[in-house]
């Protein structure tokens, strides 16, 4: 059975509170050998670190753009302190989840950019890659990366243009593909998954978010009482099968290349994957 890395899984999310252990065990049974657990705000930095150590996974520390409205400026100094405190922890593999979101309503773009650029500076200071939230913000994110060079990372849930994809790749980034690529109507994204260099792709679930098509229910179905399926890291091999089908690759070959790509994007992963 192929072995996979879920490069983006919010295992600490409240949706998993009732059965978190079982969720991780099911992922292991499905072949998911490793999960990267990114933080979203100061309140969950300890939780992601503890979960990573508990399950032999890894974690990232950062402030998500959707949480900048309730973050305070002092959180950036506290993030620097946390990064310093845990800088020798091999399971701390990145700064993240950071970035910009110009889709969500009611967020201050200037405040998002303040936090984004400050965290890029921290990535430089601590020589860590970044895990980027990219939603209608690719060009602005790329400008920040050109102004403040960092040691690469992952553009999570990438859904931009070919030109934007190539720009991230040129800056040393890998592109995260997950549940969104399983939808037949996602023509541009599926084209990218099929045609981008194999060396550019990593796989992710973003669990419990971005469910693949087999878990999705429409608004009408939900109104009729059919619940939305919960995305979980155990879905990764099935998502991978879609990507492998689009590329015409054997699953084992995709598992090898995406594992190597994840380790290239997040270099501390290499030692952890060898251990597991």
The reply to whether 34 sits in an annotated binding site is no
Is 64 annotated in a binding site? The answer is no
The 3-state secondary structure of 21-52, one letter per residue: HHHHHHHHHHCEEEEEEECCCHHHHHHHHHHH
Find, among 49, 53, 73, the residue nearest to 63 by Cα.
Answer: 73
Any known ligand binding at 8? yes
Is 133 among the annotated ligand-binding positions? yes
Closest CA to 207 of 49, 73, 11: 11
97 labelled binding-site residue? yes
Q: Helices 187-195 and 162-170 sit at what angle, rounded to 10 degrees?
A: 40
35: nearest Cα among 275, 201, 269, 268: 269
Binding-site annotation: residue ranges = 8, 10, 97, 133, 156, 206
Binding-site annotation: residue ranges for a divalent metal cation = 8, 10, 97, 133, 156, 206
């Amino acid at each position: 059975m192929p072995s996979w890395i879920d490069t983006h899984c919010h295992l600490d999310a409240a949706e998993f509170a009732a059965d978190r252990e079982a969720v991780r065990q099911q992922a292991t049974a499905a072949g998911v050998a490793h999960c990267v657990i990114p933080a979203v705000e100061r309140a969950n930095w300890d939780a992601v670190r503890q979960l990573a150590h508990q399950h032999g996974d890894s974690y990232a520390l950062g402030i998500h753009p959707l949480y900048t409205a309730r973050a305070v400026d002092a959180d950036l100094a506290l993030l620097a302190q946390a990064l310093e405190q845990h800088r020798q922890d091999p399971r701390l593999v990145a700064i993240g989840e950071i970035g910009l979101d110009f889709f969500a309503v009611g967020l201050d773009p200037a405040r998002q950019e303040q936090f984004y650029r400050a965290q890029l500076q921290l990535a430089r200071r601590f020589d860590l890659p970044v895990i980027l939230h990219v939603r209608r913000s690719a060009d602005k994110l790329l400008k920040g990366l050109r102004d403040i060079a960092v040691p690469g990372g992952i553009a999570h849930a990438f859904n931009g243009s070919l030109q934007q994809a190539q720009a991230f790749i040129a800056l040393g980034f890998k592109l995260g593909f997950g549940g969104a690529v399983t939808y037949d109507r996602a023509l541009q994204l599926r084209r990218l998954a099929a045609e981008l260099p194999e060396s550019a792709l990593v796989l992710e679930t973003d669990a419990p978010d971005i469910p693949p098509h087999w878990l999705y229910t429409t608004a009408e179905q939900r109104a009729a009482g059919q619940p939305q399926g919960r995305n979980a890291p155990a879905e990764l091999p099935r998502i991978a099968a879609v990507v492998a089908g689009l590329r015409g690759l054997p699953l084992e070959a995709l598992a090898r290349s995406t594992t190597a790509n994840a380790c290239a994007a997040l270099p501390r992963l290499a030692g952890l994957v060898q251990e597991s």
